[in-house]
Amino acid sequence: MSEAKFRKNDLYVYDLSGEVRTSLHLMSFDQNLNECDAVAVEPSILDAIPIESKIVKVDQSANKFHCNACNLDFENQLIQRKHYQAEFHTLNIKRSLRNLPPITYDEYDTSQKKYDPQEETSLTDIKETSEESSDDGSDSTESETDEEFENEFNEKINIFDDLSSSKTVSHLSTKSSQIYYKSNLLADTEAFGIYKNIFSLKQLDHPTSAINSWNEDLEYSSNAISALFMIGGGHFAGAIVSHQRMKIGSNFNRGKNSKDSLQEHAVIFLEHKTFHRYTTRRKQGGSQSAMDNAKGKANSAGSTLRRYNEAALKTDVQSLLKEWQPYLEKCENIYIRARNANDRRLFIEEPSTLDKHDARIKSFPFTTNRPTIHELKKAWCELTYLKTVPKPKPEPVKKTEVKKEVSKTEAPKQDRALQELSPEEKHTEELVSLLKKGRAPLLIAYLRKSKVDVNVKLEPESKYMYTPTMLHYASQNGHKRMINVLLSNLRSDPRIKNIHGRTAYDLSKNETIRQEFQIARYNLGEHFTNWGESHVGEPLSREEVGEINKMKEENDRKETESLIQKELEAAKERQKLEKEAKRGPGHRLDGGKLVSIEQNLNSLTDEQRRKLMREQRARAAEARLRQNK
């Protein structure tokens, strides 16, 4: 790939550089993504500018370089462009959207002197309304798709597909969310991509003309706005974004902790707001209303709080839409990303200010993360900057007829096996499935509806020879709860034996299962059946079983504690022996040799010898005093 001849800032669709814009050539494809020449070729880039955009709009002062928002005239186009990037112009845009008269530059300068200019770092701080709410680390980055949202709101995407399918060759036949442009600034295998839903339906037929009108009509680019909304998991983020970018120099300081790129820093939000409501259980997913519809209304404190927050979230969103209604009426596009149907209704149901049939309402054609102001800026940059992408590769021709013939002749083996099952085997499959899942009410209902006896033999016999009845199967597989249901509720016969002469009680693998049989014997009474033939132990009440298990647990605990104590004592003894073995028996420091007093005295100096003699005399005197007492 050759080195890029442009910067990323040159790819903003509302402010393309002249070199990039003149290099764009719209690509058209057939149904198999083969690049073709369009039937009706669009005019060249320079000639595609509408006549209206070439005619200069002259105001009353007969000056073609005029700003309607600020009511100012300029000497040339360069000064006019710089004015459109100034905060003064942005402030008057806001005032015009609220039907307020523009202020003069002197009034703006006077108001700015009241504030410290170092405290304001961007145009978005003019009105700080966002309250970024952060969740705990339960969900690091939850990625969410917009497929359902596109089906309901983005009906124009379906129209795009209809247009592309109706024409053999079209620039819309890309089988993706983008249209493509060739450019001599890119390699032969690459192209510029731009999302389809940034255009209106009329603009989509002639996208090149639309791009040129955006870049040539400075009045349009300075006044045009769009709306961005994201909601999901109780998080909401919304903004009114200007199509005009902020001017950022090469020496712009983003800050150490800033996550925004230079392009994201250049985004101008006229208004923005974020808030969060606790509507979803942590690590559970799904709103409380969805859980209520699926499993019934819960009465816990947490569920009540989540229901209240859902209603509060709806009120907050609709209040914000009503507050931003002057902006929404003038928006070119309204992009909405909603997680589910309930979240989507917040924007389109009464008393919302938006109409679900509004052609301006669109979705984000890519996945987004948790709704935040940073994510809104990131999504806007993704929408409005040209992407360098590989050219679409032609698709191979598919032989659909051959595949259909094969699919008709070859039936899956599993389907054939199900068709060959006998009624008894079908009953067995259903009963065993309910036993495994522990669905006691469904099992009882199925037996009554199908009029199947509880002691029915499971089929096929070769597969269930060791567990011929449901009671045998439940006992062998440890389904404790189902044993109680089969015996106490359905009155299953515990005397039935398998081919080895073993009853269901004999197949139980642990004491807990055997106790369940004994509890059933106690509840049903001795008159129910011949319990001797069933090999079931003595009857026990549930309280007696609880006492037995409690005593067993206590004995196990004491035995465990005694074993731990013995192990500790043994470890201490081992440590003691290891220390003694390491220390050894010991030995005398003098080596066992006796040294005479004369030898010791001879080794001393005269002063030391006199000192020693004085000490000896003093000790002798003390000894005599003690004896006299």
Short-list 13, 81, 4, 2, CA closest to 380 = 13
Q: Which of 178, 263, 288, 476 is catalytic?
A: 288
In angstroms, rounded to a whole number, what is the distance separating the alpha carbons of residues 306 and 286? 11
- Report the amino acid identity of residue 171: H
- CA neighbours within 13 Å on the CB side: how many for 526? 5
211, 319 Cβ separation under 8 angstroms: no
> In residues, how long is the chain?
629
Concerning whether 288 is annotated as a catalytic residue, the answer is yes
In angstroms, rounded to a whole number, what is the distance separating the alpha carbons of residues 246 and 244? 7
Distances (CA, A) of 524 to 140, 478, 490, 541: 55, 21, 11, 11
Residues 6 or more apart whose Cβ sits within 8 Å of residue 441? none
- Coil, helix or strand at residue 502: coil
Beta strands 331-338 and 361-362, pairing class: parallel
Burial track 223-236 (b if 16+ CB lie within 10 A, e otherwise): bbbbbbbbbbbbbb
- Give the H/E segment covering residue 338: strand 331-338
Largest CA distance in the chain: 140
- Give the H/E segment covering residue 304: helix 301-323
In angstroms, rounded to a whole number, what is the distance separating the alpha carbons of residues 497 and 469? 9
In angstroms, rounded to a whole number, what is the distance separating the alpha carbons of residues 50 and 253? 40
Bridge partners, residue 66, by sequence: 73
92, 60 Cβ separation under 8 angstroms: no
Q: Where are the alpha helices (DSSP H) in 509-603?
A: 511-524, 531-534, 542-583, 597-602
458, 467 Cβ separation under 8 angstroms: yes
Beta strands 361-362 and 387-390, pairing class: unpaired
Bridge partners, residue 560, by sequence: none
* φ, ψ dihedrals at 29, nearest 5°: -135, 160
Which residues have a catalytic role annotated?
A: 288
